[in-house]
């Protein structure tokens, strides 16, 4: 049974369990291998359809940078205690969403509805079912986020996660997701989330007051929305 406190507590495990260093390198190697295989397969598919592909130098450079980033991540984590369980949960969730949006019919329907809901309905896409399914998936992901937030805080109150929706929207827009719909990807959102998390961590280290943090996060969101409107003007 789950009890309060102790290493056997599920909430405590989310913040105290780390992947052993050797398994961190194994996982990093496996991820890089899958990325290489996926890139080669995508390149071959584009060539089979007669589409243009990147030059070998550009493709190799992309693989090299990706490999260095993965190695750097594993090296930094192993320098502490190893890759945390929360990072593994994030990676698994992001991978699942990436597969869903990029390699399934549901994902193609989702982008089509975001681009033009009326056109999607006319083309025979079950708009209502897809929208309901999307909200259900987001509910599941939100529940996981709340569970992780409770684990890190060690408690839960009515104000836990207050105004985190501002950070979520800003991270999506910074990552390239259009508020008009029809455009965006998981990798961009992850980079946007990293920027927002770095900003919040910096304000915490500077001992800024809560209201000042809210103002700064709101300004970042307003700037991100303004940039999105400017970049999509006339489209």
Total domains in the fold of the chain: 3
The stretch 174-191 carries a mean pLDDT of 87
Q: For strands 18-19 and 83-84, give the pairing.
A: antiparallel
Residues 157 and 169 in one domain: no
The stretch 200-228 carries a mean pLDDT of 86
Residues 35 and 47 in one domain: yes
* C-alpha distance from residue 24 to each of 88, 117, 125, 230 (Å): 10, 43, 42, 42
Q: CA 131, 188, 67 angle in degrees (round to 5)?
A: 130
- Which is it for the CA torsion 166, 201, 178, 45, positive or negative? negative
62-90 residue pLDDT tens: 999 999 999 999 999 998 888 998 899 99
* C-alpha distance from residue 142 to each of 17, 28, 82, 160, 161 (Å): 22, 27, 26, 13, 11
Provide the residue range defining the domain that includes 136.
85-161
Residue 4 placed within a domain = no
Residues 53 and 95 in one domain: no
Tokens describing residue 138: 């987001």
Q: What is the mean pLDDT of the chain?
A: 86
Chain position carrying tokens 């399934």: 104
Q: Residue 220: pLDDT band by 50, 70, 90 thresholds?
A: confident
195-207 residue pLDDT tens: 888 988 899 899 8
Residue 136 placed within a domain = yes
Q: Which residues of 171-186 are buried (b: 16+ CB within 10 A; e: fewer)?
A: bbbbbbbbeeebbbeb
Residue 125 placed within a domain = yes
Which of 52-61, 112-121, 152-161 is predicted least confidently?
152-161
For the purposes of burial, counting CB atoms within 10 Å of the CB of 167, is it exposed (0-12), middle (13-18) or buried (19 or more)? Answer: buried
Residues 63 and 132 in one domain: no
Read off φ and ψ for residue 84, nearest 5 degrees: -70, 155
């Amino acid at each position: 049974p789950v009890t309060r406190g102790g290493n056997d507590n599920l909430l405590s495990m989310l913040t105290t369990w780390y992947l052993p260093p050797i398994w961190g390198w194994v996982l990093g190697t496996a991820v890089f291998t899958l990325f290489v295989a996926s890139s080669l397969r995508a390149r071959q598919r584009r060539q089979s359809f007669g589409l243009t592909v990147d030059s070998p130098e550009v493709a190799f450079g992309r693989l090299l940078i990706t490999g260095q980033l993965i190695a750097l991540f594993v090296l930094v984590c192993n320098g502490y205690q190893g890759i945390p369980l929360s990072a593994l949960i994030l990676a698994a969730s992001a991978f699942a969403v990436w597969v869903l949006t990029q390699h399934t019919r549901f994902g193609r329907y989702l982008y089509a509805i975001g681009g033009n809901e009326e056109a999607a309905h006319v083309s025979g896409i079950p708009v209502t079912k897809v929208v309901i399914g999307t909200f259900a998936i987001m509910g599941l992901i939100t529940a996981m986020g709340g569970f992780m937030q409770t684990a890190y805080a060690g408690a839960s109150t009515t104000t836990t996660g207050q105004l985190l929706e501002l950070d979520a929207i800003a991270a999506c827009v910074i990552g390239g997701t259009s508020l008009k719909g029809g455009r965006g990807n998981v990798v961009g959102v992850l980079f946007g989330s990293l920027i927002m998390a770095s900003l919040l961590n910096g304000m915490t280290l500077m001992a800024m007051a809560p209201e000042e943090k809210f103002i700064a996060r709101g300004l970042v969101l307003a700037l991100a929305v303004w940039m999105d409107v400017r970049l999509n003007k006339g489209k």
